[in-house]
Structure formats: C-alpha cells, structure tokens
Structure 1
Amino acid sequence: MYKLGIDVGGTNTDAVLIDENLKVVAAVKNPTSGDIYEGIMGAVDAVLAQANIDRKLIKQAMLGTTQCTNAIVERKGLAPIAILRIGAPASVGIPPMVDWSDDIAAVAVDTAIIGGGFEFDGKRLADFDEAACRAFFEGVKGKVESVAISCVFAGVRNDDELAAAAIAREVLGDDVRISISSEIGSMGLVERENATILNAALHLVAERFTEGFAKSLAERGITEADVYLSQNDGTLMTIDHARRYPILTIACGPTNSIRGASYLSRMDDAIVIDVGGTTTDLGVLQAGFPRESGVAVTIGGVRTNFRMPDVISIGLGGGSIVREHEDGTVTVGPDSVGYEITKKALVFGGDTLTATDIAVRLGMAEVGDASKVAHIDEEFAKKAMAVMREMVEEGIDMMKVSNDDIDAILVGGGCIILPTDLAGTATCVKPEFSGCANAIGSAISKVSGTYEALVDYDETPRDQALEAARAAAIEAAVEAGAVRETVEIIDSEDVPLQYYPGHTNRVKVKAAGDLSAAL
C-alpha cells in the first residue's frame, strides 16, 4: 500500500510516493505552471512514471495547495455571499468589512447587523431578533449560495449563530453553504468575522479543486485512494471537511515542510528553514508540529485571527537574482526568476545570475553545468554568499525565543544555496529527500481537532474544564477523519485573562490521530 503526497509551491509542485513503512519510493519536482492544476497533475504523472507501481495500491492521496490563497490574493473565483452579524445595538459602530478594499469587499451581495449576541461572561447582550434574521435571508434568496454568520462573543456562546444558521437553511434551502464564526476564528469579533467571510467566499474554489483532483486521480487509475487536503496546522482533513472550511488550507505549504522536516530529520524541536525558488520560509518545530502564531494575520489585505503557523518569509530562494552595484555592494533578491530557473539561471544556459549559480560556483551544489559559472569571480561569489547567509541568520534570530543556539533543518528545493554552519544554530542538517519535504509532510500528516473556549474557573473547576476541553478536541479530530483509538492530545494551554472579572481563562486544546489503522 502507498500514500501519494503532493504540495504546490510558487516555483515547483512536488510529489512523493511513500510505502506502508513510510519509506520514500519515488519523489519528483515539477514546475508550477500558470495553471496550478496542470502543474499538480504533471507532478502526479511524473511520480507515477518513476515509481511504476500498481496504482490501485495507492490508498491515500494528500494535496497541499495554494489555490485558496491565490483566490484571495488575486480576487478570482470568490463566490457572492451574504453577511449577517448578530450584535446590535453594541456593534453597529463598526460595520462588517469596514477596512476591506473595494475589489474584495465586492463579494458581499448584502450585509446586516441584527439584535442578539452575548457578553464576555455568556449573559445576553440583547434578544435574538429572529424576525430580522428571517427577513435578511428572504432578501438574499436566489442571489447567494453561501452565507457568513458572526456573533458577539460567539466563542463563549454560539446559540445565536446556530439559530441563525437554522433559519438560513430553512429559507435558502439545504444546499446553502453556511460559515459560522465560532467554528473558524478565535477571540476578537472583527478578525473572526473576517475569517468567516473569506471562508464563505471560498466555497466554489474549494469544490472545484477537490472535485477536479479526485476525478483526475481516478482518470489515472488511482481509484482506491481516499483523498485528503493539507491544512495550516500541519495536519490533514477530509474532502468534506475542506469544503466546509476551505480557509484552513491557507499557508499549508510551510506547515507541510515543517512536518516533513521533522519526519526526515527525526527531530521534534528545531527551526525549519524551507528554501524555495523565490522565498525562504522559517518556522518552528515544537513537539513535532508547527508553532502557531499568536498574533492576527493579514491575508490578501484582510486581517484575520484564525489559526496560522508562526512563519516568517524572506526574499531569498534558489532563483533569487544576484546583482553587484556601482558602489561594490552585492544584493540578492527579492526578485527571482521563479519557476523559470531551468531556463534563465547561468548554470542552465540562461543569462541571469541567480543564488543557485553562486552556490555552484563555490562548489556547494552540483546543479546544471558548472563550467558556465567558472568565470564568476570567487571573491564576488563569497560576498554574495555572505549576504545570503546574513539574511537567513537574521531570520533565525527572529524566530528564536532565547539566546541559546537551536537545532535547524534545511529543506526545500533551494536549500542547496545555504551552508550548514549558520550562526545561532547548534546543529544544522540537510536530510535525504529534503527537496521534497513539503510533499512528504503532506503524505505523513495526521488529522487534528481543536477546541477553544473562555471558561470561568470560579464556575467550572480547572481540572473539570480541561478534561471537557480534551474530550471536545478528541471528538473534533475524530469528526475530521482521525481513527479514535490513535488520537492523543498534542497541545494544551489555559491562559488567564486579566481584564476579565473572576478567574476567566482562555482554554485551548489540540488533539491529533492517524488517518487509517491500515497505514
């Protein structure tokens, strides 16, 4: 039995086949074309040709894709939606999408703020205005197939969101796609609402690429495989789950690389340096999973607060363009030849000096034709390498939480451009198959579930609250596709909120388990 893992990057789409012992059987890199889907299936065809196996033995196929991210950034393929906020009169001063640019705010056919919602302690802010809710959905009937519902302090109580969702389904029909904020975002009404709006707008994109991927696999004889999508916490979700929460696929690339780096290096705690063709992403591996960002994240100009990996990106990659200026200084990037590196880099017969050319000139990599860069002055090459080294070392310092040296793992197709003696690191390794760590991370990932709530320990004792949170996280993981017997708690935290009365804490628990007992 085999697993097929695919990850789409800005420069290359990687694909790997892994057997039942989690050994890499085949691994390929295929240029990411203008049509992302074409690049995905090109990588699948290439890895199948290399492996030459019975395709019916592929039992699981995992895809990490940038299509939802691209849809938001490029404003393409987003569905028209209706937005309902429950929180009048308290929240009417700041309407939905208040700081959105016009080109993306256009997804909203209509918006409304109606009475309802709760205080921070779960007490009613105002009565739920059922009549206004019903009138709003009657007004958008036939105009939208997707709605976003948010409510004041829905993280504490989501009663009104669930009531509004039931009315939406009654008025708009069972096929309506409903996104409710308590299932998507964290604390903070506007950021949580923004994430919910994006999720609702992505439903057509999600349906298109999930259906197309499954159909294309079947056309290639992969008919026995269950299909999963990578999500941005380093775990997987089923196709149905991806269609409900497409926004969770955003930033899955860096998390796949972090998970793949952990598997290849056998390390559970380290900084992962993922070097692509255009950018280098630095993330932190914590207990085998990506460290989560604790701050709001902006996606395509929209501020959100749903879970995202703690990752920084710098403009350095294998295709980064190297220049010497009149004053003798050398710069690397941030512009890059990207997926055209095999045409434009000097070592491949092109006319553009790239970071890869510098690495080949210094004998750090064996790529292309080294004779085509022999004319580059060695001192100039060393100056360029010093610039590249400094860029990454500054990134390492930004990700560290102490002055102590930390282990580092170099992965990605462009990691050949960096040395392993980086300042700030205790050890720095480039494991075998590091170039396809992202696809490997996709293939070996588990399935997770997260539970988050505000709990007053004066009303619910801490031990009881944490036990309930663990049980809820486990159920969420099982619902997402994990085998119950394999699910375990991988992260648990409770943070006191000093500005709340009593002993209110934000309780958050994550659980993860295996996809299948057979693999």
Structure 2
Amino acid sequence: MTKYKIGIDVGSTHTDAVILDENNNLIHAEKTMTTPDVTSGIINALRLVLERSKVSKDDVVAVMFGTTHIINAIVQRKNLGKVGIIRIGLPATEAIEPTLDWPVDLKEAVNAGIAMIRGGHDYTGEPITSFDEDAVKKALKSFREKKVDAIAVTSVWSVVNPEHEVKVRELANDLLPGVPVVLSHEISSIGLLERENATILNAATIKVMINAINALREALRSMGLEHAKMFFAQNDGTTASAEYIVKFPIFTVIAPISNSIRGAYVLTGIPNAIVADTGGTTTNIGALVNGYPREALEVEIGGVRTNIRAPDVVAIGLAGGSIVETKDSDVKVGPVSVGYRLIYDGIAWGGNVITATDIALAKGVMFIDDPRCNPELARSKIPSWLVEKAYAKMVEMLEDALDRIKLRPEPETVILVGGGSAMWPKVLRGAKEVIRPEHAQYANAIGAATALVGAVVEKAYSYEQVSREKAIQDASEETKKRAIEAGADPATVEVAEVEEIAMPYLPGNAVKVRVKAVGKLRL
C-alpha cells in the first residue's frame, strides 16, 4: 500500500498544498488564497487537495506545514504571551538590560518583568560567581503573581555550560507548574543579546503555536486524518514534529522561505545554486549550499536582532502583483502589490491596475493557464514603451538582487521558483544558466513535504581543555539527540555538517563547533 505525505506552505498571497508519494513523486497540487488568520487558508488548501487528488485518507501518513503564524504574530504584535525575563550574569552584563533596543510596542506586548541574577559561566565553563538561588526564587514568585504566560532564561556562556539555566527551570517547575520555561542554550548560539532576544521571542510565541496546532489538529480530525502525524517546517530547511515545535516555535518563523529554497533542490537535484522565489508580493532570493539554504549570521525579526538559524535572504518588493506606476518618464515597479487581488485588479483580468504580471503578459514572455486571464487586454491597454521600460526595470531589479546574494564574482546557476517566476527571462546577468523546473510554482510546498527532520547545535570549546575529537563527538551526540526529539527515526539519524570556527579574541584556543544532524521522519 502506497503511503502519502501532504505538504502545505503559506505565502503572503497564496497557500499551496501538494500530495507526494513515498518516492517524492508529485501526485496532485492545489493553490488557494492565503487568509488573514492563516489557519483557515491552510484548511481550505488541505481539503481541496484531498478531494481532488482522490487519495485515500487512510493512506496519508504525515502532513507537513510551513506556516507564517509566528512571524505574523510578532510583526503584528498580536496574541503574544507575557514573558518573565531572567538574565544570569551579574556582576557583569548589567550595562545593557534585556529588550533595551526593542521596538517600544513589541516590548510592551511581551515584557512582564526583568530579573538580573548573579551567576553565569565563562567560555571555559567555569562559574563566574556563585548562583543566587534566592534571587531566582524571588523573581519567580513575582512572575507568578503577574501570571506570566512563559519564562525566558538566558545565562552568560550557557552554550558552554547550561547548569544555571537548567537550575532555574527546575525551580520554576516547582513554583510555577505548567508555565513554559525557555532556556537560551536550546534556542541559539554565541552572542548573549541576540540569543536572549530569540529566547524571549520564543517564549512569547508558544501560546500562538499552541493555538495554531490545536486548530490544525482539529481540522485533521474533522477530515478523517487524525492518524496522520503533524510536522512543521523549520528555518533551516528541515522539519520537526508538532510536539517539538510547540516548545520551539521560533524555529518556524522564516520557514516558508527555506521551503522554497529546499524545494528548488528537490525539483532540480542541483545542490549548489542561487534560488529566486517570486510570489505575489515579494521575491526572496537565497543560496543553496549542499542542498540546504545558506544560513545568515544574524536575523532581524519584527525589529529585534537575533542569531537563530535562518536562511540568508535578500527580499525585494518585486513580484507578480507589484504595481507599476509612471511619473513623467520615470517608471516605478513595487514595492506596493495588489497581492491576492491580482485576478480582480490586474489589467489582463479586466481591472484597472497595471501590475508586473500585466507587463510580462503584454511583453509575451509569460503564459497563465487561467480562462479569466486575457493577455490581449494587457497588450491593448498598456503602451508598448511602458511595457519595454517596465520589464527592463523589473529584470534589472532582479539581477541586482541576485548579485547581492552571491559570495563570488563567477556566474552561478540560478533556479527560478514560485508562482510569479514565469515572468522572468531565460538569460540573466551574472547567471551561468537559468532554470525554471517543472512544478516550480509549488516548490515551497514540495520543500515542506520532502524535508528531513533536523537539528543544529552550536557549542564553544577550549581545545586546550578538551581534544578536538572529543569536542566534535560531544556536539554530534547532542545534535543527534535533539534530532530524535524533533521526530527523526533514530536508526536514520546522521551528522550532515560539522563546522569549526576559531574564536581568536578568546584565550585557550577557543573554537565554536557547529553540528547539523538529519534523519527520516519517525512515522
């Protein structure tokens, strides 16, 4: 009996759903409108792809989601939980308090109180000073009175020695049973403020993810899919179980972009390339490195600097729904977009707004399989000089963005995906070759459906105190353990990447070791 997986990915304009068999062959695909609440759009896409594919519900073993629930909550400052914030590091770390440089409205939505505690470790793992347990208990009792939704704990150099963070969780479990406690060493890497920011955002969005998972689980039950396991796409192109993601929702915050990059690899088999994903509102450009998205060193989320693992992306306000405007002889394309209203407002659909899609249709470089779309309307209503000038502007904007994501001057392979990718030419400046694979418009959902379960651990070691082999072994074992916790089949977990980065600004031959492990879904 053939087993099937469903992949669903949420974009700013469309929500895509695909069904793949156990060999990752595409069985059926659907594209629906993204809804303001995200969840109902996902349910619409899921119901549609099931009904039209004729695949038996009993044969669906997993549903993989790439959602925007978390990024929407942070950007819109909606439904976020109140967080009790603990930083362990006194007498150091006092100069810059937690959330100091956050946008005021986000800080007010999240911050339920800050406690600065004595303790922490140095980069060798040795304590800086004794841990102030009494101060922690006092802070936790204060948080209990304020009825916080979650607690975020960050300790100095906890990525080397998490002892004090773990101790806070033990105390919190006694004093505030049932309240989630997020520890920074489980969230991200070296960099106290960025790691702390990510930890607080993770704590603030746990409630959002709980509500989303409950709604999606109920939807699966109502469709007769309660037996199917739920997985959520992560920022680095891997996936994780719902049970894992409910503890670490921040790992999904930029996942849809990674889905497209990973999907480009699945569709082409090309492990190293530049990927441009053109949707209805933006074009997101990233790089494939060994089949996974190249990661950024720092990611800003809702105006907050973090160092979570996430794709290195250049985003431009140029896509299928981008509005084309003229002033005198100057032409402007984007960043404003008609989004999902393209099929109502676009010239080719009988509307009155000139969009990038209308320009491509009038130019004759794009075909859309929609009986409501009439390219002749675009050709007759848009002056030829505007078509030529606007299209040249669009291509120039894309080429400039492609150049910004490249790390070397040599031409590279460019893979075009996304619903709006059909508008681009087959030759681009700086590209060795331009490929738009079959099913490019569903690359994001295909990326979600085919992802392996993954985990990443970054730890700091002093090679004067521990051997290189022992350090890599230690980090690898912890990474494999996390991958299994995330839903990987233990028999299939393997180390995919090992990276060592010297930290010459610290004594003792200090090195940051980064390990990534992946495995097949545990079904």
Q: Give me the TM-score of the superposition, normalised by structure 2.
A: 0.96
| Counterparts of 2:22 and 2:43, CA distance in 1 | 23
| Counterparts of 1:214 and 1:488, CA distance in 2 | 30
| Counterparts of 2:460 and 2:304, CA distance in 1 | 25
| Counterparts of 1:329 and 1:492, CA distance in 2 | 50
User: Per-residue deviation at 1:438?
Assistant: 0.4
Map of 1:505 onto structure 2? 511
| Counterparts of 2:143 and 2:389, CA distance in 1 | 61
User: Per-residue deviation at 1:35?
Assistant: 2.5
Correspondence list, 1:22-101, <5 A: 22-101=24-103
Map of 2:365 onto structure 1? 364
Moved more, 389-398 or 270-279: 389-398
Structure 1 residues 294-326: Cα deviation after superposition (integer angstroms, max 9, x where no partner) = 2x2211111111111111101100000112220
Map of 1:330 onto structure 2? 331
Could you tell me whether the CA contact under 8 Å between 1:56 and 1:223 is conserved in 2?
A: no
Give the match's secondary structure for 1:202: helix
| Counterparts of 1:479 and 1:49, CA distance in 2 | 33
| Counterparts of 1:119 and 1:266, CA distance in 2 | 44
Map of 2:397 onto structure 1? 391
| Counterparts of 1:125 and 1:256, CA distance in 2 | 42
Which among 211, 214, 228 is matched to residue 214 of structure 2? 211
* 2:224 pairs with 1:182: no
Correspondence list, 1:269-280, <5 A: 269-280=272-283
User: Per-residue deviation at 1:383?
Assistant: 1.4
Map of 2:176 onto structure 1? 172
Map of 1:308 onto structure 2? 310
User: Per-residue deviation at 1:72?
Assistant: 0.5
| Counterparts of 1:448 and 1:34, CA distance in 2 | 30
Which among 9, 12, 25 is matched to residue 11 of structure 2? 9
| Counterparts of 2:464 and 2:41, CA distance in 1 | 55
* 2:163 pairs with 1:151: no
| Counterparts of 2:457 and 2:154, CA distance in 1 | 18
Correspondence list, 1:60-459, <5 A: 60-106=62-108, 107-142=110-145, 143-173=147-177, 175-294=178-297, 296-326=298-328, 328-367=329-368, 368-375=373-380, 376-459=382-465
Could you tell me whether the CA contact under 8 Å between 1:356 and 1:416 is conserved in 2?
A: no
Structure 1 residues 19-42: Cα deviation after superposition (integer angstroms, max 9, x where no partner) = 122111111111112221121111
Superposed CA RMSD in Å reads 1.2
Aligned amino acid, residue 154 of structure 2? S
User: Per-residue deviation at 1:223?
Assistant: 2.6
Could you tell me whether the CA contact under 8 Å between 2:5 and 2:61 is conserved in 1?
A: yes
User: Per-residue deviation at 1:80?
Assistant: 1.2
Could you tell me whether the CA contact under 8 Å between 2:453 and 2:483 is conserved in 1?
A: yes
Could you tell me whether the CA contact under 8 Å between 2:323 and 2:356 is conserved in 1?
A: yes
Aligned amino acid, residue 25 of structure 2? K
Quote the sequence identity (%): 40
Give the match's secondary structure for 1:141: helix
Could you tell me whether the CA contact under 8 Å between 1:2 and 1:58 is conserved in 2?
A: yes
Aligned amino acid, residue 378 of structure 2? V
Could you tell me whether the CA contact under 8 Å between 2:188 and 2:458 is conserved in 1?
A: no
Structure 1 residues 384-430: Cα deviation after superposition (integer angstroms, max 9, x where no partner) = 11111111111111111111111111000111121121111111111
Structure 1 unmatched ranges of 5 or more: none
Aligned amino acid, residue 162 of structure 2? N
| Counterparts of 2:407 and 2:115, CA distance in 1 | 43
User: Per-residue deviation at 1:379?
Assistant: 3.3
Could you tell me whether the CA contact under 8 Å between 1:57 and 1:224 is conserved in 2?
A: no
Aligned amino acid, residue 277 of structure 2? D
Could you tell me whether the CA contact under 8 Å between 2:151 and 2:179 is conserved in 1?
A: yes
| Counterparts of 2:488 and 2:364, CA distance in 1 | 46
Give the match's secondary structure for 1:185: coil
User: Per-residue deviation at 1:490?
Assistant: 1.8
Could you tell me whether the CA contact under 8 Å between 2:120 and 2:156 is conserved in 1?
A: yes
Moved more, 76-85 or 454-463: 454-463
User: Per-residue deviation at 1:475?
Assistant: 1.8
Aligned amino acid, residue 350 of structure 2? G
User: Per-residue deviation at 1:102?
Assistant: 2.5
Aligned amino acid, residue 388 of structure 1? M
Could you tell me whether the CA contact under 8 Å between 2:361 and 2:379 is conserved in 1?
A: no
Aligned amino acid, residue 48 of structure 1? L
User: Per-residue deviation at 1:155?
Assistant: 1.2
| Counterparts of 2:281 and 2:239, CA distance in 1 | 26
User: Per-residue deviation at 1:471?
Assistant: 2.3
User: Per-residue deviation at 1:470?
Assistant: 2.0
| Counterparts of 1:318 and 1:450, CA distance in 2 | 35
Structure 2 unmatched ranges of 5 or more: none
Aligned amino acid, residue 119 of structure 2? G
Deviating 4+ runs (over 4 angstroms): none
User: Per-residue deviation at 1:499?
Assistant: 0.6
Structure 1 residues 73-116: Cα deviation after superposition (integer angstroms, max 9, x where no partner) = 10000011211111111112211111122221122222110111
Aligned amino acid, residue 379 of structure 2? A
| Counterparts of 1:465 and 1:484, CA distance in 2 | 22
